[in-house]
Amino acid sequence: MALTGVPGGGVKYDAIGGRRWTVSYMSCPSCNEPIIYLGGDGERKPTVDNFLAYPLTTGRAPAPSEVPAHIAEDYREASAIFQASPKASAALSRRCLQTILREHGYAQYNLAEAIQAVIDSGKLPTGVAENIDAIRNIGNFAAHPMKDTSTGQILPVEPEEAEWNLDVLEDLFDFFYVQPERARQRRAALDAKLAAAGKPPMK
């Protein structure tokens, strides 16, 4: 289905901002929900390439079913917003990370200290430990603006960094929730077989 312009005209002009905004839309062939793209240009402002305005999505799969609902919701929001605002996405990812650590016994008030504690525990796989430490620096850019020591400019959170946060959260979901649940299910199945054979369960 081809994209079409806004009803009554293909261009909406924002006189205050000095920019002409175009709105294009279509209906999803699967669910009939709207898909909306925005773009804009103007003499005094740089052109804004067409971008997906609705629905907000990154194409990522939702958090695994083993992940608690309140954590999965933060992850969904961080995934949905990262294209529009990498800083907001990184901040949500940081909160998601802090919740995961707190609920696994790392309740330090400061996230940086909680990250250090889980690294020092030696329980994380090496790759995950290295990446979770890097998240601490990215998260600080989002929640507490930092200046480049040479230029004095505020350092932004790049889209690649915000998406990396989400990648690391996926690794943590697997380590803290998915793998333990699979192990529990395997043990339960084995115990059921042992019980059927008249033997005691695994210790």
For 36, the token pair is 């909306």
State the residue for tokens 């790759």.
127
pLDDT at residue 16 in the model: 46
What does residue 49 show for φ and ψ, rounded to 5 degrees? -65, 150
Q: Which of 8-12, 43-47, 84-88, 180-184 has the highest mean pLDDT?
A: 180-184
Nearest residue to 38 via CA among 2, 85, 81, 6: 6
Q: Worst-scoring range by mean pLDDT, 62-71, 83-92, 98-107, 179-188?
A: 83-92
Which tokens in the block code for residue 161?
């960094």
Query: Can you tell me whether residue 156 is helix, strand or coil?
Result: coil
pLDDT in tens, 124-144: 999 999 999 887 777 666 666
For residue 2, pLDDT beyond 60: no
Of the candidate ranges 52-61, 83-92, 145-154, the one whose mean pLDDT is the lowest: 145-154
The helix or strand, by DSSP H or E, that contains position 113, with its residue range, turns out to be helix 111-120
pTM beyond 0.75: no
Segments making up each domain of the chain, as ranges: 1-55, 57-189
For residue 48, the tally of other CB atoms under 10 A from its CB is 14
